Homo-oligomer: A and B are copies of this chain.
Amino acid sequence: MPSISKKGALMPESPIRKLVPYAEAAKKSGKTVYHLNIGQPDIKSPVVAMDAVMVHSLKTLAYTQSEGSLEYRTKIANYYHQNDIYVDPSEIIVTTGGSEALYFAFGSIMDVDDEIIIPEPFYANYNGFSTASGVNVVPVISSIDDNFALPPIEEFEKLITPKTKAILICNPGNPTGYLYSKEELLKLKELILKHDLFLIADEVYREFVYDGNVHHSVLSIDGIEQNTIMIDSVSKRYSMCGARIGCLVTKNKEVIQTALKFAQARLSPPTFAQIASEAALRTPQSYFDEVKEEYLKRRNLLITELQKIEGVKVATPKGAFYCIVELPVEDTDDFAKWLLESFEIDNETVMVAPAAGFYSTPGSGKKEVRIAYVIQQEGLKKAVNIIKEGLKVYNG
């Protein structure tokens, strides 16, 4: 029997997946499970987007342009202009989700054994894309004690080798909820210019910024136009995770031309999803206001309730809809499993994502979990109470 690839053997399993059988068993036994573990919001997608697909007039579901239609890219560019990001449609490639945009970016700028520095904890699938591309992730550690702010630039510099090709940030961050300041981005600017690196910024949570903070795109920083690649997606913005439409944006023409070759090899992004995504650009501001208001209420409730629990440390998220929480346990993998298997209040329990999967440094994050505030406030309150009471029982 022929064997699988080394790369395939190394591909990480989703850190959320590991607990799925336990959640399924809990449900089978009649328990309600509050899912704080996933980035799938319960928020409704914009009606204008969902309706656009219902009135499609296609007779043949044909390929679109590999880079996405000029019309759609023009509209995306216009959306960026409204967000103080000045790009041309030719600087955009429409992709099958932000995932594919990352894959194109990695392939366009890195070869096997090249290195990418990523502040950790980070979105777990960055590990998967790196392994699939044969690229090594070099983590630079950010800490819950300063809210997961940008690590000191000296820490980055210590890690730079001739193999280092890029730095990757997620802003606002999944799983941290951290929002990088303009000053932090300017520090990164100096660093990447000094070492001639690419800076990839995953900005899919751009709209979800709280407390009057402002999001700064890497594309709005002058002087690093040739170094920056921005990753975007409709998944979170419009609660359209299942569309699988994202884009790669860069002013570096060589990168665009290279990414386009990857795009051509896979022919085109999905057509129906592009119809929905193009229509989604007509979503009224009131939609975002309401959604943001809802997330803000959830965040405030979540943080307030978590802070009431003894021994719990929580980094207050400034953006996105996640937070990293340190629990008074030695191994959140075990605690998360225990919650599903052995604990309930009124026949209800909780699924959280153990944070070790968001670190690549072995042994890190073992006391932390990621909580996604993607469920309604009532459920969220009950869920935090289950964690609180669960901790008491678990810790004897």
Task: Report which of B8, B9, B45, B56 forms a contact with A58, defined as CB distance below 8 A.
Answer: B45
Contacts of A3 in B (CB 8 A): 254
Report if A258 contacts B (CB, 8 A).
yes
A197 to B296, CA, bound (A): 55
Is A319 located at the chain interface by the 8 A CB criterion?
A: no
The answer to the question of A64 belonging to the interface, with a C-beta cut-off of 8 Å to chain B, is yes
A8-B109, A227-B1 known; A64-B266 Cβ under 8 A: no
The answer to whether A272 and B276 have CB atoms under 8 Å apart is yes
- Whether B40 and A59, one on each chain, are in contact in the complex, defined by CB atoms closer than 8 angstroms, is no
Q: Residue A128 contacts which of B5, B9, B125, B261 (CB distance < 8 angstroms)? A: B261
Contacts A1-B226, A96-B96, A258-B8; A60 near B134 (Cβ below 8 A): no
Q: Which of A12-20, A78-86, A359-367 contacts B (4 or more CB under 8 A)?
A: A12-20
Is A11 an interface residue when CB atoms closer than 8 A count as contact?
yes
Stretch at the interface among A206-214, A234-242, A335-343, A386-394: A234-242
Tell which of B5, B97, B103, B258 touches A108, judged by Cβ atoms closer than 8 Å.
B5
Known: A244-B268, A266-B100. A4 touches B108 (CB 8 A): yes
Per-residue CB contact flags for chain A residues 90-130 toward chain B (1 = under 8 Å, else 0) read: 00000011011001000111111010000000000100110
Chain B residues contacting A99 (CB-CB under 8 Å) are 265-267
Q: Mark A265-280, 1 if CB is under 8 A from B, else 0.
A: 1111111110010000
- Whether A134 contacts B132 by the Cβ 8 Å rule is no
The interface size bin for chain A is 35 or more
Q: Is the CB of B265 within 8 A of A244?
A: no
* Any B CB within 8 A of the CB of A48: no
Chain A's interface: helix, strand, loop or mixed, by majority? loop
Give complex CA distance A239, B63 in Å.
10
Asked whether A198 is an interface residue with its Cβ less than 8 Å from the other chain, the reply is yes
- Nearest opposing residue in chain B for A241, CB measure: B63
Residue from B62, B132, B241 in contact with A262 in the complex, judged by beta carbons closer than 8 Å: B132
Considering the chains assembled together, what is the distance between the CA atoms of A114 and B112 in angstroms?
Answer: 13
A270, B242: Cβ atoms closer than 8 Å: yes
In the assembled complex, how far is the CB of residue A111 from the closest CB belonging to chain B, in whole angstroms?
Answer: 5
Number of copies of this protein chain within its complex: 2
CB-defined contacts of A44 to chain B, threshold 8 Å? 59-60
Interface pair A258/B9, CB less than 8 Å apart: yes
Question: A300 on the interface (CB 8 Å rule)?
Answer: no
Interchain nearest-CB distance for A230 vs B (Å): 15
Q: Are A271 and B242 in contact (CB under 8 A)?
A: yes
Q: Nearest chain B CB to A144's CB is how many angstroms away? A: 26
Contacts of A132 in B (CB 8 A): 107, 262, 265
Does A108 contact B252, Cβ atoms closer than 8 Å?
no
Known: A96-B96, A262-B132, A270-B272. A252 touches B1 (CB 8 A): yes
Which residues of chain B come closer than 8 Å to A244, judged between CB atoms? Answer: 96, 267-271
Partner of A5, one of B12, B53, B66, B111: B111
Contact between chains at B107 and A7 (CB < 8 Å): yes
Q: Which residues of A contact B (CB under 8 A)?
A: 1-9, 11-14, 17, 40-45, 49-50, 53-56, 58-64, 66, 96-97, 99-100, 103, 107-112, 114, 125, 128-129, 132, 134, 165-166, 196-198, 226-227, 239-244, 252, 254-255, 258-259, 261-262, 264-273, 276
User: 13 pairs across A/B with beta carbons < 8 Å?
Assistant: A2-B165, A4-B109, A5-B165, A11-B262, A11-B265, A54-B56, A61-B240, A96-B270, A100-B266, A125-B266, A241-B267, A242-B271, A273-B273
